[in-house]
Structure 1
Amino acid sequence: MNETQQHYIETILPYRLYAVGAFEMALHLVAEFPEGADIECTFDGKPKIQGRSTAITNPTIEMGIVHSRVLFEFLGLKLNSKMNLAPTTPRKTDISIESFGLEKVSAEEALAPCNGDKTKAGEAVINTLKAANKLVAHSTDIIKMDNDSIKGHLMTCKAIPVLFNLYFFKKLGLPMPNSEIEKNVHSS
């Protein structure tokens, strides 16, 4: 394994997967407090941030949406012009699953581990990827953050670690990095 591959396995992918865990945490908080809530964040027991929860949840959700898109592209999936999951065409400088000698994950393979409604799961992933384009990267009013979109993004958050474990880490004989935020942080 070369230095770039090692860096991706040890640093970049765990960082991005952890960002998806933070995305999931923020979605749970928005679902619980849709109008936001007063917060106080402490660092080493000292209050450092006071204000509204949206100061934490909004950028964390946007970050999670972008990391989700990057992770799906790493696996070999993107949205095509018809808003369907389609194979990526990486640029020469892109690092992807193929950089590790593994095959791209097809749309069918991405939905295969789903033990529920595969159509809903596919729509959830598509809507998260669409949000990366239409909510975060551009100023549009096409994407809303309502209960349905929160549920869909949560499905995507659950799917990403499963897909990475199944199609990347296990195939390389490596342990899956922990991507969960401490449970007591987002339990009610």
Structure 2
Amino acid sequence: MPKSRSEEDKITMLHSVIPHRVAAVEAMSHAVQFRVDRKDGDSGHFSVVLGAEIHGNANAVLNPWLEAGIIHGRALLEFMGLTYDRKNETLKSRDQDARETDWRISDFGLNPVSPEDARSAYGGPPEEADRSLVSIMLFADRSIAHMTDMLEPDKFGSHNLQIASEGIRALIERFLYIPLGIPMPRSLFTRAE
């Protein structure tokens, strides 16, 4: 039986926790894009100025952005009611009787997102949506939380992470914020052109 949630806890989730996790997924997307856009011979040097100035190789920042985004992406997908079939590597509904302490979209009086809902929310082929959302969970399991066999690069590439990033934000907005009548928190990123 799911836990009863206080209104204060729900507000914290909607205005702090979920936006933080979505921002991490967006950071992952930017890290992927930086790697895709990097020119041959680019050493990946970066500088950050926040009171003090730090210099280094961009991988020192991009790798944690990737990993944090993947972990938070998986948590958001599970929150919405999705997981994946480990044998077939396809989306499936998550058991709603998971750990009592887990937050679920149903804690807000909303139905879990079905795999069909997630696939149809994507403007492209359903199998690409499926593969991209599953890629987040596979990368989390195989590349971050555990050290296991490598993923097939031709099957799960950076383009899948990009699609999943956009998809997760869209799913959160469409199935959580819009039904609750709350504006989706704005992105914390702006990209200079």
TM-score normalised by structure 2 residue count: 0.87
Partner of 1:163: 171
Q: For 2:186 and 2:120, how far apart are their aligned partners in 1? A: 22
Q: Where has structure 1 moved over 3 Å in runs of 4 or more? A: 144-148
CA contact (8 A) 2:118 2:129 kept: no
2:94 equivalent to 1:88: yes
**Structure 1 residue 8 displacement after superposition:** 0.3
- 2:132 counterpart letter in structure 1: A
For 2:49, the equivalent position in structure 1 comes to: 42
Shift of 1:140: 2.6
Give the conservation status (yes or no) of the 8 Å contact 1:21–1:157.
Answer: yes
For the 8 Å contact 1:37–1:52, the answer to whether it is kept is yes
- Aligned-residue Cα RMSD (Å) equals 2.0
CA distance in 1, matches of 2:130, 2:154: 18
Cα shift readout 1:121-161 (whole Å, capped 9, x = no counterpart): 21111112100000010113413778961111000011111
Structure 2 vs 1, CA of residues 180 and 145 (structure 1 numbering), >3 Å: closer, same or farther? Answer: farther
Q: Which residue of 2 aligns with 1:152?
A: 160
Q: Give the unaligned 5+ runs of structure 1.
A: none
Gaps of 5+ in 2: 1-5
Give the counterpart of 2:136 among 128, 132, 135: 128
Counterpart of 1:140, as a letter, is T
Of all paired residues, the percent bearing the same amino acid is 28
Which one has more relative contact order, counting CA pairs under 8 Å at least 6 apart? 1
Aligned position for 1:13: 18
User: How many residues are treated as equivalent by the alignment?
Assistant: 183
Instruction: Look up the SS of the partner of 1:92 in the other structure.
Output: coil
Work out whether residues 165 and 176 of structure 1, in 8 Å CA contact, stay in contact via their aligned partners in 2. Answer: yes
Structure 1 residues 30-78: Cα deviation after superposition (integer angstroms, max 9, x where no partner)? 112277511111125x52x211110000011011000100000010001
TM-score by length of 1: 0.89
